[in-house]
Amino acid sequence: MPLEANSVTLAIVIGVLAAIVYSLRILVLMERRIARMEVHLEKIASRILREELRIERGFKKRPRK
């Protein structure tokens, strides 16, 4: 019993919708990963800034010769 044109069209539409949903899921997961990476980078940057400020304070306190 061959498939009718309506059945084929419906199968194609459902397949395309499933692919779109899957792609959106992957995009959301990637966005979450990038957001976590940004948080980690901000923490690293703040640590570097604190260390630089501590070093600068050390140079200011040291008497010049």
**Number of Cβ within a 10 Å radius of residue 43:** 10
Whether 63 shows a pLDDT value over 70: the answer reads: no
Q: Which tokens in the block code for residue 11?
A: 């199968």
Tokens 């040291």 locate to 62
For the residues 38-54, what does the mean pLDDT come to? 96
**Sign of the torsion formed by the C-alpha atoms of 37, 42, 47 and 49:** positive
Q: What percent of the chain has pLDDT over 90?
A: 74
Segments making up each domain of the chain, as ranges? 25-65
For residues 33-52, average pLDDT = 97
